[in-house]
A = this chain, B = another copy of it.
Amino acid sequence: MGATNTTHYSDLDNKLAAFCKALAHPARVAILKHVAKVGSCICNEIVDELPLAQPTISQHLRELKSLGLIKGSVEGVSICYCINKEVWDEYQTLFNNLFSDLKPAGNCC
């Protein structure tokens, strides 16, 4: 075990869970916020910004990139990362729907 069996759940539930998994580490939340704050682009400023070694940052960036939450393009020696707006719009809709589904339930106990 230790492996999540995704085959029995709806595509939507799996997608929401995968998105949340990508945000389920404070370093990745901080990376996203930093990328957004600096605005256009960055590179290994993140390594200076966060208390993690360069390979660890690279690993977190890969997870975010694999879900499409950020994009990276080669910019000379370094790499430019930025928020992938379209993908975020999609997940925001998913999340709004989740909140809509859950909130009307209200408090029974």
A4 vs B23: C-alpha distance when bound (angstroms): 13
- Contacting A28 at CB < 8 Å: which of B6, B8, B17, B105? B17
Q: Whose C-beta in chain B lies nearest to the C-beta of A74? A: B109
Tell me if A45 counts as interface (CB < 8 A to partner B): no
Stoichiometry, as copies per complex, reads 2
Interface band, chain A: 35 or more
Q: Whose C-beta in chain B lies nearest to the C-beta of A31? A: B13
* Residues A26 and B6 in contact, CB atoms below 8 Å apart: yes
* Residues B83 and A109 in contact, CB atoms below 8 Å apart: no
**Residues on A facing B (Cβ under 8 Å):** 4-6, 8-10, 13-14, 16-17, 20-30, 32-33, 35-37, 39-41, 50-51, 71-73, 75, 80-85, 88-89, 92, 95, 98-99, 101-109
| Subset of 27 A-B contacts with CB under 8 Å | A4-B26, A4-B27, A5-B51, A8-B50, A8-B51, A9-B26, A10-B30, A17-B24, A17-B28, A17-B29, A20-B20, A20-B23, A20-B29, A21-B21, A21-B24, A33-B102, A40-B108, A41-B108, A73-B109, A80-B108, A80-B109, A82-B109, A84-B107, A85-B103, A85-B105, A85-B106, A88-B102
